[in-house]
Structure 1
């Protein structure tokens, strides 16, 4: 078999090109720090690396979303702290106003201070975040959620749904609470609230204290509404209305001023002072009843109106004032409990974000380790291969130099 000079040249060139290609490939790997520079270097590793990189980018997006969610929840918690202080101050003012030693001027002065708290709470309800969005407007965050109507009462115009943000693949977290949830709601189980009403032309001066819980295990507790209908100065009947709207009227009972009266089968007690007139009523409803007042601003408006009304020398109006203050204080207690419940929920969500952050950080470390295993270069191994490839290329070049100088004419 004859081997021509051309065949030997082609084989030598092919060997040199292969050695040079391997030498350049390892050089690119060292320069980039990656062992997979092109998908063709390792198709399987390149494919897996694309999937891991996408998962890593998505995890980073969730981490950025958690930063935004934490900022919103932290701001809400700060505002709710101010709201809590405002409600507590309002309660203290009503306790002060309930004193019989105050004059009409003193009560009006307290009413002015209470109005200041009212305006402050209204401002807190309409607070905005750093992006100009109203914090408690729900999804309708481009306009103030609370505004005064023609009658001067604050009404809610925002969305009843809380804004949510996805903070992890399987977690959609509320990042704010609607103003209705905070300022116009009452947590279930907050007991009962009593309200008094006098009949037209009534000369009664009946006041109440309570109601107080005696036994919450009694049937109908937290569901039934009890109406004390007065048929005389110290006589009344209890009308019990269940959740279905069915009313039952009990027998005529008598009361003595200052003594506790049990209603609802010893579920609730209430204490009456003064005397009633025919047609006067005291209604005891669950705090979360549809017809019960759950509106914080309405409570303050009622209390301010009562404080600004002169009562000196008017026994009936004095009784209305005491009843209004008693009802307002109970409603403020319920509103405060509701705000504290929302604050606890905000705190729980902030704690949850910390836990999800920890899980996300561990997940990012796993992704980075997997990517490193797939595409990152082992420098010590690559440098060794680079040196060996360089030696091979130089040997191939030297062999080619020797081959190209061979000629039959040298033998003549």
Structure 2
């Protein structure tokens, strides 16, 4: 086979293009820090990285849910703790009025304070989460769970609970959910002996100049009973909430560890070995320069120099 000038030039040019491509590919990898510039560089590693990235995205979704949940539970814990403090003061007043020694002026002062405490307690029961929904109405989150309703016939105003006792499970890991619905007071309403309606009744008795000592004493006892029942529900809810908050903490810690391990695996599969890349880059440069010099030398040779 006769080797022509053109064939030699094309062969050297092709070698120079390949050497140039190898050099710039290694340089691009060093610039990005990625061993894989395209899936075809290592299909198996590329697929593994894709799977790991999918897992990472799922874990990040769980983490976002847990962060929102943590903020909501902390807000709920704060509201419930404040309610406990209000109930402690209501209990103190109930004991004082039950002693039967309060003057008419003192009874009026107690009545005014109980009104304020009732309003404060209602605001806390209708507390909202950091994202703006009502927290203590179960699955009813778009309206206050506790409302005052006025009878159109008698004009009498009573407190009613308009939430439910449903659950609202939120996934926090594969196959694991945490119920975010809170309805600690749903079972206290319906008979009229809940703390809110009893507070109103107590205020009415304290402001009645004709109320007998027996009626005042009974109002005191009814208020003590209603407050105790409400606080029992509070404390049970606080205990359940504490368990959920511990679970949130555990899941956040577990996911954080998983994310770190996931990222380490991605790094092992996709990060560039700079030491080896530097060697490859130097070798590519030497090869490129050698091909370029040979190509130039051959292109400048005449027929007699080749013989």
Q: TM-score range by the shorter chain?
A: 0.7 to 0.9
Q: CA deviation at 1:137?
A: 3.3
- Tell me which residue corresponds to 2:179: 174
- Tell me which residue corresponds to 1:78: 78
Q: CA deviation at 1:378?
A: 0.8
Kindly indicate whether structure 1 or structure 2 has the higher relative contact order, using CA contacts under 8 Å at least 6 residues apart: 2
- Tell me which residue corresponds to 2:279: 384
Q: 1:4-23 CA distances to partner (integer Å, 9 max, x unpaired)?
A: 33333332222222211111
Q: CA deviation at 1:310?
A: 4.3
Output aligned runs, 1:214-293, within 5 Å: none
- Tell me which residue corresponds to 2:198: 299
Answer yes or no: is the 8 Å Cα contact 2:75–2:130 preserved in 1.
no
Structure 2 Cα separation of the partners of residues 153 and 343 of structure 1: 27
Q: What's the TM-score, normalizing by structure 2?
A: 0.87
Structure 1 Cα separation of the partners of residues 98 and 78 of structure 2: 31
Structure 2 Cα separation of the partners of residues 21 and 172 of structure 1: 52
Q: 1:340-380 CA distances to partner (integer Å, 9 max, x unpaired)?
A: 11112222222222211111110110111011011111111
Q: 1:298-348 CA distances to partner (integer Å, 9 max, x unpaired)?
A: 332333334334466x5xxx4444344324312321211210111122222
Q: Secondary structure at the match of 2:84?
A: helix
Structure 1 Cα separation of the partners of residues 133 and 230 of structure 2: 25
- Tell me which residue corresponds to 2:133: 133
- Tell me which residue corresponds to 2:300: 405
Structure 2 Cα separation of the partners of residues 129 and 63 of structure 1: 18
Q: Secondary structure at the match of 1:69?
A: helix
Output aligned runs, 1:188-199, within 5 Å: none
Q: Which runs of 5+ in 1 are unaligned?
A: 187-289
User: Higher helix share goes to which structure?
Assistant: 2
Q: Secondary structure at the match of 2:157?
A: coil
Q: 1:48-75 CA distances to partner (integer Å, 9 max, x unpaired)?
A: 1111112112212222222211111111
Structure 2 Cα separation of the partners of residues 164 and 15 of structure 1: 63
Structure 2 Cα separation of the partners of residues 367 and 123 of structure 1: 45
Larger radius of gyration: 1
Q: CA deviation at 1:87?
A: 0.9
- Tell me which residue corresponds to 2:44: 44
Q: CA deviation at 1:109?
A: 3.3
Answer yes or no: is the 8 Å Cα contact 1:125–1:145 preserved in 2.
yes
Match of 1:352 among 224, 244, 247: 247
Q: Secondary structure at the match of 1:153?
A: strand
Answer yes or no: is the 8 Å Cα contact 2:97–2:216 preserved in 1.
no
Q: Secondary structure at the match of 1:166?
A: strand
Q: What's the TM-score, normalizing by structure 1?
A: 0.67
Moved segments of 4+, more than 6 Å: 290-294
Q: Residues 34, 301 of structure 1: CA spacing in aligned structure 2 closer, same or farther, 3 A cutoff?
A: same
Q: Secondary structure at the match of 2:217?
A: helix
Structure 2 Cα separation of the partners of residues 41 and 156 of structure 1: 64
- Tell me which residue corresponds to 1:251: none
Answer yes or no: is the 8 Å Cα contact 1:148–1:155 preserved in 2.
yes
Q: Residues 126, 142 of structure 1: CA spacing in aligned structure 2 closer, same or farther, 3 A cutoff?
A: same
Q: Secondary structure at the match of 1:382?
A: helix
- Tell me which residue corresponds to 1:56: 56
Q: Secondary structure at the match of 1:143?
A: coil
Is residue 268 of structure 2 the alignment partner of residue 373 of structure 1? yes
Match of 1:160 among 147, 162, 165: 165
Answer yes or no: is the 8 Å Cα contact 1:146–1:157 preserved in 2.
yes
Answer yes or no: is the 8 Å Cα contact 1:83–1:121 preserved in 2.
yes
Q: 1:258-286 CA distances to partner (integer Å, 9 max, x unpaired)?
A: xxxxxxxxxxxxxxxxxxxxxxxxxxxxx
